Amino acid sequence: MGQGATTGTCAAAAAKAAALHARGGLASRRVDIPLPGSGRLSVDLLAWGGARNAPWASVRKPSNGDPDATREAVVVVSLRPGESLLFRAGPGVGTVTRAGLQLAPGEPAINPGPRRQIAAALREAGSEDWIVTVSVQGGQAIARNTFNPRLGIVGGISILGTAGIVRPWSMDAFVASTLAHMGVVRARGQETLLVVPGHMGERAAATLARGLEPVEVGNAWGAVLDRAAEHGFTEIVAVGHPGKLVKLAQGQWDTHCSAGSSACSWAHRFLRRSLSPSRAGQLAPSDTLEGLLVPLPESIRREASEHLATRAAKAIGRRAGMPARVLFVDLKGKFLGEGMS
């Protein structure tokens, strides 16, 4: 398999191989299948077998250097004759339990794109009138390293793939999962989008924004904020360490360390202008926001944090087009201060 295949492409290849095997037409260890949109891909099979009315085949998803949790997973598709095309979740493939995704609760977590791709592959093998059961070996364990638990997909992984080919890892897959989570959160009636950079912010939000379900943004702030209104949110609350959130005050919407500059020197200059001379004089040089804020006396630390948080909240509010509030915590999760747009 030259280019990396998504789990959806692996499932489509296994489905076509199983259908060809049922007709006695599987001539090699490779099958050629259509990709979503256009193009084709030749896929290596791992194994196949079964009777004419119960064929199956499997494909191992290649690694290709991609850090996705499903790399090298074995996707197994088994077929049973049916009056039309139906999908079932086998072991290791999840079931949707929450509204707000592309699939209704109770459906197997095989996304619409892969379903269409599997149908096209089966038509090439003679007929799509099969009951298709997709399984992933070890899928339940793999799912613990994905967004599925917070999306309400239980029992295993999702079968994904819009292009059919895995690109070298980028922000795309993470953003797609985050946007899906936003849809789930909004579907439960939550109008406030609670965003956190990662686990530290999530733990702090459990106390500081009690009752709201957080959405992890990672470094993709711009991509997420641009879609907040589209999802129907009316307010944004951000909780996290100032080391990430102060970058937003500077207009850095991808907060990965490789995508911009450190926020500390900017924050130091900003606070020297914002605080009174006597308070600004207590700012010590530091290479980190933690080192800049935490050593300050509590009253000055709180005022400085509020100035920075307010600047970040205004930047978020402008980008998203709605009111915003920012709450800072230190590396231990202790509240530092907050600001509003």
pLDDT tens digit sequence for 30-48: 999 998 877 888 999 999 9
One domain, residues 77 and 180: no
Q: Indicate which CATH number applies to the domain containing 105.
A: 3.30.2110.10
pLDDT recorded at residue 82: 94
pLDDT recorded at residue 162: 57
**Domain end marker among 166, 186, 212:** 166
One domain, residues 159 and 178: no
One domain, residues 77 and 10: yes
Helix (H) and strand (E) counts in the chain: 12, 18
**Domain end marker among 118, 134, 166:** 166
One domain, residues 156 and 9: yes
Q: Indicate which CATH number applies to the domain containing 243.
A: 3.40.1050
pLDDT tens digit sequence for 308-321: 999 999 999 999 99
One domain, residues 181 and 44: no
One domain, residues 55 and 134: yes
Task: State the chain's mean pLDDT as an integer.
Answer: 88
pLDDT recorded at residue 144: 86
Reported confidence tier of residue 3, pLDDT bands at 50, 70, 90: low
**259 pLDDT more than 60:** no
**Domain end marker among 149, 166, 183:** 166
pLDDT recorded at residue 198: 84
Contacts with 135 (C-beta within 8 Å, 6 or more apart), sequence order: 75, 76, 77, 78, 90, 91, 92, 93
**285 pLDDT more than 90:** no
Tell me the mean pLDDT in the region 241-269. Answer: 83
pLDDT recorded at residue 1: 40
**148 pLDDT more than 60:** yes
One domain, residues 45 and 68: yes
One domain, residues 190 and 277: yes
pLDDT tens digit sequence for 57-85: 999 988 755 556 777 899 999 999 999 99
One domain, residues 64 and 139: yes
Contacts with 19 (C-beta within 8 Å, 6 or more apart), sequence order: 55, 79, 122, 125, 126, 127, 130
CA separation for the pair 108, 153 (Å, rounded): 9
Number of compact structural domains in the chain: 2
One domain, residues 123 and 194: no
One domain, residues 224 and 140: no
One domain, residues 243 and 228: yes
Residue of 35, 21, 6, 4 whose CA lies nearest to 136? 6
CA separation for the pair 52, 22 (Å, rounded): 4
DSSP-derived 3-state class of residue 309:
helix
| Angle CA 195–92–99, to nearest 5 | 40
The domain in which residue 161 lies consists of: 4-166
Tell me the mean pLDDT in the region 217-228. Answer: 90
Tell me the mean pLDDT in the region 136-163. Answer: 84
pLDDT recorded at residue 239: 96
Reported confidence tier of residue 257, pLDDT bands at 50, 70, 90: low
Range of 147-161, 170-184, 194-208 with top mean pLDDT: 194-208
